[in-house]
Every structure is written in C-alpha cells, then in structure tokens.
Amino acid sequence: MSLGSLVLLLVGAATVAFVGVNWAEMTRPTDLSLVFTEVHAPLGLTLLGLMAVLAIVFVGLVAYQQASVLMETRRHAKELAIQRDLADKAEASRFTELRSHLDQEVGRLSGVIDNHTRDTLARVDRAEIGLRDRPADADVARLVATVETLHRDLHARVDRLEMGLREGLAGYLGTPVAARPASLPSAAKGGAAESL
C-alpha cells in the first residue's frame, strides 16, 4: 500500500469517526439559506453530502487523467511501433545494399584471383618448358662431378704449394711454423694462386 493511499484511508477513518461521535448534531435540522430561498435541513448531513460529491468529482477527475494518460501511452506505443518498423525496413534495405556490394566485390576478387591463377599457371608452364630445354639429369650430374673433381685438384695443388713454401721458408725463418704470423701463409697462398 502506497503512502498516498494510507493517508487517504486515515483521513476517511477520521471523518467517519468524527461523524459518528457528532451524529446527533449532524442530524439536527436547522434553517439554511440558499441565497434566493431558505431550506430547513440538517447542516451536518448537508456538508457531509457536499463532501461526498466533491470526493466523487475528485475520483472522476483522477480516473479521467489516468485514462487520458493511458490513451496517450497507447498512442505513443503505436507511433513507436511504426517508427521501429520503419527502422527495421531501413536496416533491411541497408543489409540488402551491403549484400549486393559484397557480391560485387566477391565477383571482382574472384576475377582477380582467376587472372592471377592463369598467370601463375602460365609461368609454371613456361618454367616446365625451360626445364625440358635444359640438359638432362645425367648431363647435370656429369657437370657436377667435373666441377667437384676440378675443385679437389685445385685444393690439392694449393696444399702442395703451401707445403713447398713452408719448407722453402723454413731455412730463412728461425721461428717454428706455428709461431709465424697468420698473414704469411695467406700471402703465400695468394702468390701461389696467382702463379697458377
């Protein structure tokens, strides 16, 4: 129960108690003036009747206000539903536009991917043709073996020259071979390689 309802209930109970206690005075007839005429009636009951009429008018006004607020709320709810429908339709149209745009982009990207795929396949085909035109695997193996043989021969000659230089220089240098500076053997190698 709200505070307003409790206050109204207390005021009503106090009024009923007041009328009950003073019932004899409330019902005693008296002369009442109505400006143009006079009436013989109980003053307390007349005032009580006026208070009841005012309470009924007050309740009617409150009911009318609540009904008007309720109708206004329903009208706003209908307008809100209409606006929501419009927003949903607008959003659906934006989704449709977005979908068509994405379909166009996917189509364009598919074309680009197809072009790149064709270019890549053409390059692979050209590379295959180039590999077919090159010497056979046996020729390549023979070339590799020849290069390795020449490489070994070159290392053997350099080793022989290095040993000859060490033996020839051993008489001129009094220090052992391990104590010699590192630049001498490389310089000797360079001179030996140039003499080849």
**Tens digit of pLDDT for each residue in 54-80?**
989 998 999 999 999 999 999 999 999
In a domain, 93, yes or no: no
Q: Which of 120-129, 130-139, 183-192 has the highest mean pLDDT?
A: 120-129
Place of tokens 């009024």: 15
In a domain, 92, yes or no: no
In a domain, 185, yes or no: yes
Is residue 130 domain-shared with residue 148, that is, in the same domain?
no
Q: Are 29 and 40 in contact (CB under 8 A)?
A: yes
Is residue 130 domain-shared with residue 142, that is, in the same domain?
no
Is residue 51 domain-shared with residue 40, that is, in the same domain?
yes
Count of structural domains, the chain = 3
Which of 51, 71, 91 is at the close of a domain? 71
- Going by the DSSP 8-state scheme, the letter that residue 29 receives in this structure is E
Q: 42 by DSSP, 3-state: which?
A: strand
| Residue among 12, 24, 20, 22 at smallest CA distance from 51 | 12
In a domain, 3, yes or no: no
Is residue 65 domain-shared with residue 107, that is, in the same domain?
no
Rg (alpha carbons) of the chain, rounded to whole number: 59
Domain that holds residue 191: 137-195
Which of 134, 153, 176 is at the close of a domain? 134
In this prediction, residue 190 has a pLDDT band, given cuts at 50, 70 and 90, of very low
Whether the predicted model's global pTM rises above the 0.85 cut: no
In a domain, 130, yes or no: yes
| Residue among 183, 162, 166 at smallest CA distance from 175 | 166
- Measured between alpha carbons, how far is 81 from 73 in angstroms, rounded to an integer? 12
Which of 55, 71, 87 is at the close of a domain? 71
